[in-house]
Amino acid sequence: MNWEYLITIIAPPMQASFSGAWLYLVLLVIGGFIGVLTGFFGVGGGFLIVPLLNIVVGINYELAVGSSLSFILGTSFTGMMRQRSQGNVYLAAAGYIAAGSVIGSVLGDLAQEALLFSIAGGSRHVFTMWMHGLFLVVLAVTMIAVKASSRESAEQERTPMLLARGPRPMFSSEGNIQISIPLTFLIGLIIGVMTGLLGIGGGVLLVPILLGLFGLGHRTAVGTSLAIVVITSLSGIIKKGFSDIPKVSLPLTVLLIAGSIFGLQLGIMLLRRSGEKSFRRYFTYIIILAMALIAADLLGMIRSS
């Protein structure tokens, strides 16, 4: 067996801005912070961990995306099992969305390679600017969705936006409300593409979608989101494992998971003590923080071009 080749596959060079103990410390801190987000918001944290790994640590986007999915799988599975034991996972919605997201994650990974080699012409600088821009668009849409679902909840007592819309067949959401299966599958497909392309498990998009479009309560939305994130992340990792480009770092993943263990428990504890209004407000704050971080780095790259 070629051990040198095997090591290169599971632990490719990270080319980080830090080295030694400082690198380990930074990764542990990032993992702990994302663990809190996972437990509290039901998100894998990819929408923030991928930009953090790229901007703060200096890891290229391909490796950050793949390692993020590996990290998300570990933390989200733990959080999902905890939420499932509390009855917060709605299996019907999770199953139909996950079916679409599995296919979407494969398409998203192919789109990432096309973006790097065809659109960016192999230039890491151009590719990074494109990825920054895509993250900003996704996060802006997510913030709009959070506000829309908040108004829907306040004005119509959480009447789902997908109520009686879309082609048949239908399935029953909470309260025996009929939701279109093909439309639910399409939503999952879009989530999956974002997973494979950007390394987000989908929770940052799923939580507002489950709140506003499906009318789930915020605790059920968190648990259901985690279940979908687990399946979507696993399919994305499998696809990236067959890539010619190193896209997953096992040491990086382990360090992030180690830091997230304590953060996850803290996030779940905070969720129990939160109300829905504060839940939405804090979620919006996190998105704004991520957008500010990405926008600042993008502006710096544009100026240096």
Between 92 and 146, whose confidence is greater?
Answer: 92
Residue type, 136: L
Interval 116-127 mean pLDDT: 90
- Predicted confidence band of residue 143 (pLDDT cuts 50, 70, 90): confident
For residue 155, pLDDT over 80 is answered with: no
Tell me whether residue 265 is in a domain: yes
- Segment 154-160 long-range contacts (CB within 8 Å, at least 24 positions apart): 158/215, 158/217, 159/215, 160/212, 160/213, 160/214, 160/215
For residue 210, being part of any structural domain is answered with yes
Average pLDDT of the residues in 207-232 = 82
pLDDT tens readout for residues 26-57: 999 998 888 887 777 766 677 788 888 989 88
Higher pLDDT, 176 or 138: 138
105 closest CA partner among 245, 253, 228: 228
How far apart are alpha carbons 156 and 4 in whole angstroms?
60
Angle subtended at Cα 13 by Cα 10 and Cα 16, rounded to the nearest 5 degrees: 125
Q: With a cut of 80, say whether residue 205 has pLDDT above it.
A: no
Residue 130: pLDDT above 90?
yes
Encode 131-196 in three state secondary structure: HHHHHHHHHHHHHHHHHHHHHHHHHHCCCCCCCCCCCCCEEEECCCEEEEHHHHHHHHHHHHHHHH
Residue 9 lies in a domain: no
Residues 6+ apart with CB under 8 A from 241: 247, 248
Percent of the chain scoring above 70 in pLDDT: 81
pLDDT value of residue 286? 83
Identify the pLDDT of residue 1.
46
CA 31 to CA 286: how far, in whole Å? 15
What's the whole-number mean pLDDT along residues 224-239?
86
pLDDT above 60 (res 187): yes
Q: Is residue 5 part of a domain?
A: no
Q: Could you tell me the residue range of the domain that residue 208 belongs to?
A: 17-304
Distances (CA, A) of 45 to 97, 140, 169, 214, 260: 19, 16, 33, 22, 11
Q: How far apart are CA 196 and CA 176, in angstroms?
A: 33
What average pLDDT does the structure give for the chain? 80
What are 4-30's pLDDT values in tens digits?
A: 555 555 666 677 777 788 888 999 999
Six-digit token pair at 136?
Answer: 């900003």
Domain contains 11: no
Whole-prediction pTM value? 0.77
- Predicted confidence (pLDDT) at residue 249 exceeds the cutoff of 50: yes
**More confident position, 84 or 132:** 132
Radius of gyration for the chain, computed over Cα atoms and rounded to the nearest angstrom: 19
* Tokens (6 digits) for 299: 């502006």
Lookup: tokens for 148: 């829309």
pLDDT at 183 over 90: no
Is residue 6 domain-resident?
Answer: no
Q: Over pLDDT 90: what percentage of the chain?
A: 14
Task: Give CA angle at 190 (41, 261), nearest 5°.
Answer: 30
Question: Could you give the number of structural domains in the chain?
Answer: 1
**258 occurs within a structural domain:** yes
In a domain, 254, yes or no: yes
Parallel/antiparallel/unpaired status of strands 177-180 and 170-173: antiparallel
The span from the CA of 66 to the CA of 62, in Å, is 6
